[in-house]
Amino acid sequence: MPDNFGSYILPVMVVGIVLFGLVKKVKVFDCFMSGARKGLHTVYELLPSITGLVVAVTMLKESGAMEIVSALFAPVTSLFGVPDEITPMALLSPISGGGSLTLFESVLKTHGPDSFIGQVASVVMGSTDTTLYAVTVYYSAIGIKNTRHTLMAGLTADFLSLVLSAFFVRLTV
């Protein structure tokens, strides 16, 4: 396997799909354009909800609220052997992808990627996604108002990732 194996995935997929279309005698560029036009329509649906979400999340990040929430959460997470240093990052990750990446960088810088703290932080970052963003975008694109228990289930998974990360790092590294 070549070193830059990861870089092959995307081009192979795009070129592969277009070639397959050619073989099947599809008018590939006409198809591409009509699909791309649909994408443009989706953006129009998403603008209002994304603006609201990002404004709220940016305000939350700048307000210092996450420090307060982290301090409240630290006793709980340390029960499971999660280092206090990564709690702010882990709590931000379901809300803001960019914000938690910044905190992840500072953890790597201060503690080093191969320290226990650095490893647990890496596992948390590698095993979670921006839950609130996904829920908002997926539902607002099709006009669903009542999302039922989606957010609760998503956040449960995020919390489990945090708790399990320390456990699995001790087990496997």
Partner 1 sequence: MMNYVFPVLLLLSFISAVATGRIDALSSAVIDGAESAVQLLLRLVSMLCLWGGVMEIAEQSGMTKVFSRLMSPIVGMIFPRLRKEKYALEAISMNITANILGLGNAATPLGLEAMRRLQDINENKTVASNEMVVFVVMNTAAMHIIPTTVATMRGQYGSAKPMEIMPAAFLTSFCALAAAIAVAKIGNRVKSSQDCKQRSA
Identify residues 3-62 at the interface with partner 1 (CB under 8 A). 6, 9-10, 13-14, 17-18, 20-21, 23-24, 26, 28, 31-40, 42-43, 46-47, 49-62
Note whether 75 binds partner 1 by CB under 8 A: no
Note whether 72 binds partner 1 by CB under 8 A: no
Note whether 151 binds partner 1 by CB under 8 A: yes
- Compute the C-alpha angle 14/18/19, nearest 5°: 115
Note whether 132 binds partner 1 by CB under 8 A: yes
3-state secondary structure of 82: coil
Q: Report the nearest approach of partner 1 to the CB of residue 51 (Å).
A: 4
Residues 6+ apart with CB under 8 A from 7: none
| 155-161: long-range pairs with CB below 8 Å, 24+ | 155/94, 155/131, 157/128, 157/131, 158/90, 158/93, 158/94, 158/128, 158/131, 161/124, 161/127, 161/128
Q: Report the nearest approach of partner 1 to the CB of residue 48 (Å).
A: 10
3-state secondary structure of 1: coil
The token pair at 101 is 């990446």
Choosing from 3, 4, 75, 145, the residue that interacts with partner 1 (CB under 8 A) is: 145
The token pair at 119 is 């490893």
Q: Report the nearest approach of partner 1 to the CB of residue 75 (Å).
A: 19
Residues 87-126 that bind partner 1 (CB under 8 A): 94, 101, 104-105, 108-109, 112-114, 118-119, 122-126
Of residues 51 and 78, the one with the C-beta less far from partner 1: 51
Q: Report the nearest approach of partner 1 to the CB of residue 81 (Å).
A: 13
